[in-house]
Chains A and B, each alone.
Chain A
Amino acid sequence: MQTPDDGALVAAARSGSDHAFARIVDRYQSPVRGFLRRVSGNDADADEIAQDAFVDAWTHLRSLRDGTKLKSWLFAIAWRKAKARARSMSRSRTRETAWQALQPVSDEPQREMALAMQQALGQLPEEQRAAVALCLAGGWSHSDAASVLDLPLGTVKSHVSRGRTRLIAILGVDDA
């Protein structure tokens, strides 16, 4: 069975198919939530923002002129929501991060690595973290990331390069 592309799914969802929209959610929930988890540093917050972003996407689906740009459009909504949430929740997040730091480190190596990365990302400025999350973790090109984050290309390149250097230093890994 042929998998419908983004354009076809957007067209079907626009004409009222919830099934099509559910497929869009299935297709992009993992990358969007992954990006938001890296940006926000809190899994529960990130999932809440992601849910909100998808519902907003459903509401404004008609404003998406080119269905093939669905991915960037979804990430841009998610990024705007994450920034707004960061502004409103900065105080409570600081408390929660402090609380998380007191939790015993899990025995599971994968979880330990994920936590280490989350804490390392938490030390980067917000935009640098987002650029790193898109380009290094998500494999986005610098220009696509610049369009999602609404930043100049040069700024994104510099964020990625500096962010990478900093993460390597914080995590204490060898740069191959």
Chain B
Amino acid sequence: MREHDPLQDFFRAGDVPARDPGFRLAVMADVARRRFRRELAERLGQGLVVCLLVLIMAPVAGDVLETLFRGGESRFALLTLPLALGVALIGHFWLNGRLRVRLPNLR
């Protein structure tokens, strides 16, 4: 049985330190950058989908609004505007899941 492998001394001489906070920080900074790019791309995609939907729905929405506002029926208008705002906000939260871009959480 081999008692001491002479190659081990050479291998151990080239070992990397067990702790290297600098390396960890560099990796986590890269992770944060990649996450930011990914979320940005997702949001741009979602924004594009919303724009397309608005473009598709625009003629129909125009007709509906014209009907509601016709003849000074302001009660409908007053109800419609907060309702639309509410739907837009719910859509925003549904699409994004949260309000802001998540920064690295190292706690």
Interface residues of A (CB under 8 A from B): 16-19, 21-22, 25-26, 29-31, 33-34, 37-38, 47, 50-51, 54-55, 58-59, 109-114, 116-118, 120, 136-137, 164, 167-168, 171, 173-176
Closest to A175 in B: B6
B19 at interface (Cβ–Cβ under 8 A)? yes
A168 to B2, CA, bound (A): 14
Q: Are B4 and A51 in contact (CB under 8 A)?
A: no
B66 at interface (Cβ–Cβ under 8 A)? no
Name the B residues within 8 Å of A120 (CB-CB): 10
Interface residues of B (CB under 8 A from A): 2-7, 9-11, 13-20, 23-24, 26-28, 30-31, 34, 102, 104-107
Q: Are B13 and A176 in contact (CB under 8 A)?
A: no
Option from A30, A116, A174 in Cβ contact (under 8 Å) with B16: A30
Expressed in whole angstroms, the minimum distance between the Cβ of B32 and any Cβ of chain A is 8
Q: Are A176 and B105 in contact (CB under 8 A)?
A: no
- The answer to whether residues A51 and B30 also contact, given A110-B13, A117-B11 and a CB cut-off of 8 A, is yes
Main secondary structure of the interface of A (DSSP, over half): helix
Q: Are B7 and A173 in contact (CB under 8 A)?
A: yes
A175 to B2, CA, bound (A): 9
Name the A residues within 8 Å of B4 (CB-CB): 176
Option from A31, A54, A136, A164 in Cβ contact (under 8 Å) with B27: A54
Name the A residues within 8 Å of B26 (CB-CB): 51
A67 to B7, CA, bound (A): 33
Expressed in whole angstroms, the minimum distance between the Cβ of A93 and any Cβ of chain B is 18
A114 to B9, CA, bound (A): 9
Closest to A52 in B: B30
- The answer to whether residues A164 and B7 also contact, given A29-B20, A118-B14 and a CB cut-off of 8 A, is yes
- The answer to whether residues A22 and B7 also contact, given A30-B15, A30-B20, A113-B13 and a CB cut-off of 8 A, is no
Q: Are B10 and A29 in contact (CB under 8 A)?
A: no
A18 to B102, CA, bound (A): 11
Q: Are B28 and A59 in contact (CB under 8 A)?
A: no
Q: Are B18 and A18 in contact (CB under 8 A)?
A: no
**Sample of 4 further A-B pairs with CB below 8 A, known A54-B31, A167-B7, A173-B7:** A16-B105, A26-B24, A117-B11, A164-B7
Name the A residues within 8 Å of B34 (CB-CB): 55, 58-59
A25 to B27, CA, bound (A): 8
A152 to B19, CA, bound (A): 34
- The answer to whether residues A37 and B23 also contact, given A19-B107, A171-B7, A174-B6 and a CB cut-off of 8 A, is no
Closest to B20 in A: A29
Closest to A109 in B: B13
Name the B residues within 8 Å of A109 (CB-CB): 13
Q: Are B10 and A51 in contact (CB under 8 A)?
A: no
